[in-house]
Amino acid sequence: MGTELISNLLEIYTAEDPMAFAHPDGDPWADFREVMRVEWKVDFTYKHVLGKYSKFFIELANHKFLTTECPNCGKVWGIPRPLCSDCMTITKWKELPGTGTMVSYSISNFVPAFMKVETPYVLAMVKMDGADTLFTHQLRNYGDIENIKMNMPVKVAYATEPVVHPMLLMHFEPA
């Protein structure tokens, strides 16, 4: 046949008209219902720069939780920003105690497979003590799932095992 020369060929099939309900006089695309499907594998790795908030990740490794404070308007962002987007002033690094209040959370029984996390897992939004906005990370070591409560106090805990991304050098735990 010759199609065996195609190394990524998946299948050749005859498709049905998905809009037959709209075509009482016959399929206008009848000549185009032979369909071929092939496989296309894509695999690449990025060398990604963490930019001007890299220091946050560098200091996480030192068990310090840093954020930024605006020298003009005084806003302390939960997640650091090199430029205060409230007033467009270049910010300063500031260390926070790493404690806070969990103002919302979600418990997932599903996770996209590329994310290496055991289910169920808990995503928490935390109002960090000393910051004006929130920080998002996983809540772990909560014991029984019934222990998880809205507005519970939490604290930053640091990784003790190797991690695949610097963001995973930390997580939240009940305080």
Partner 1 sequence: MEILDKERRVYVLGGGISKFAAERTDANMRDWINEATLEALEDSGCKIQDIEHTTTSYFSDHFDKQLKAGAIFHDNIGMCPKPNVRVEGGGGTGGLAIRNAYAYIKAGLCDSMIVIGAENMGRHVPSDVAQQFIALASDTDWEVQVAGFYIAYYALMMNAHMEKYGTTEEQFAKVSVKNHRNAMSNPKAHYPMDITVDDVMNSKMITYPYKLLDNCLLSDGAACIVFATEEWAKKHSTTWEKKPTIEVTGTGCGTDYMRLADRPYPEPGIMHFRGKQEGARQAYEMAGVKDPMKEFDCFEVHDAYSGVELVSYEDLGFCKPGESGKLMDQGVFDIGGELPTNTSGGLIGFGHPVGATGLAQGIEVLRQLRQEVDPVRQVELNNKRGGMDSHGGTGTFCAINIFERRD
Binding interface with partner 1 (CB under 8 A): 13, 15-19, 21-22, 32-33, 35, 37, 40, 42, 50, 53, 77-79, 85, 103-115, 117, 121, 123, 125, 127, 132-138, 150, 165, 167-168, 171
Minimum CB distance to partner 1, residue 5 (Å): 23
Contact (CB, 8 A) for 133 and 84: no
- Closer of 5 and 22 to partner 1 (Cβ): 22
Amino acid at position 101, single letter:
T
Minimum CB distance to partner 1, residue 94 (Å): 17
- Closer of 137 and 157 to partner 1 (Cβ): 137
Minimum CB distance to Zn ion, residue 133 (Å): 12
Three-state SS at 121:
strand
Distance CA 170, CA 175 (A): 14
Give Cα separations from 141 to 31, 81, 107, 144, 147 (angstroms).
61, 29, 14, 9, 10
Residue 8's binding partner out of partner 1, Zn ion, none, with CB under 5 to 8 Å set by partner kind: none
Contact (CB, 8 A) for 173 and 155: yes
- Closer of 65 and 105 to partner 1 (Cβ): 105
Name, in order, each residue with C-beta under 8 angstroms of 65's C-beta and a sequence gap of 6 or more: 59, 95, 96, 97, 98, 128, 156, 170
Minimum CB distance to partner 1, residue 138 (Å): 6
**What x-and-dash track marks residues 51-90 binding Zn ion by CB under 5 A?**
-------------------x-xx-x--------x-xx-x-
Minimum CB distance to Zn ion, residue 67 (Å): 13
b or e along 29-52 (b: 16 or more beta carbons within 10 Å of the residue's beta carbon)?
eeeeeeeeeeeeeeeeeeeeeeee
